[in-house]
Amino acid sequence: MSRTSCRLSKSLALLLAAAVWLAGAAAAQPRPEAEAREVIMRQLAAFRAGDYRTAYSFASEEIQSLFDLSGFERMVKGGYPQIARSTDAWVTEASLAPDGRLYVRLRIRGADGVFIEALYEMVWDESRWRINGVVTRPASGAI
């Protein structure tokens, strides 16, 4: 093997090793969508358990500045009954906006059997995703 082909082989081997290492590192890192989904699902579980203190901890600083804990509970129960008492929830879409906010769309079934679509706005706050707001609408058709 000539010197040039030996160097080329070593260079290709290094590039391949670097690509494998980078792919492994990327796979090991959680995706923003997965992290945000986990926050939403944990909040929904807290609502189901009637644990509004834990559910409140997933709200952004902005939401917490607008509502104290009891106001937050009243707002959720009064304005979002299917979220306050969900039985099932599925993420249907997630997209990262240019400003760094993440929007996660869910289909949620309330304890009353009513399906809604919910769009969650997520913000990166204190090194984790937090819920900054949600808008809902009736779901089109049942699953």
Please write the tens of the pLDDT for every residue from 23-72: 444 444 458 899 999 999 999 999 999 999 999 999 999 999 999 999 99
Strand partners for 95:
103
Token representation of residue 18: 């670097």
Instruction: Establish if 21 belongs to a structural domain.
Output: yes
Q: Which residues of 19-53 are buried (b: 16+ CB within 10 A; e: fewer)?
A: eeeeeeeeeeeeebbeebbebbeebbebbbeeebe
Q: Are residues 49 and 14 in the same domain?
A: no
67: domain CATH number is 3.10.450.50
Q: Are residues 48 and 111 in the same domain?
A: yes
Q: Are residues 18 and 65 in the same domain?
A: no
pTM above 0.85, yes or no: no
Q: How many domains does the chain have?
A: 2
Instruction: Establish if 143 belongs to a structural domain.
Output: no
Q: Which domain holds residue 21?
A: 1-30
Please write the tens of the pLDDT for every residue from 80-133: 999 999 999 999 999 999 999 999 999 999 999 999 999 999 999 878 999 999
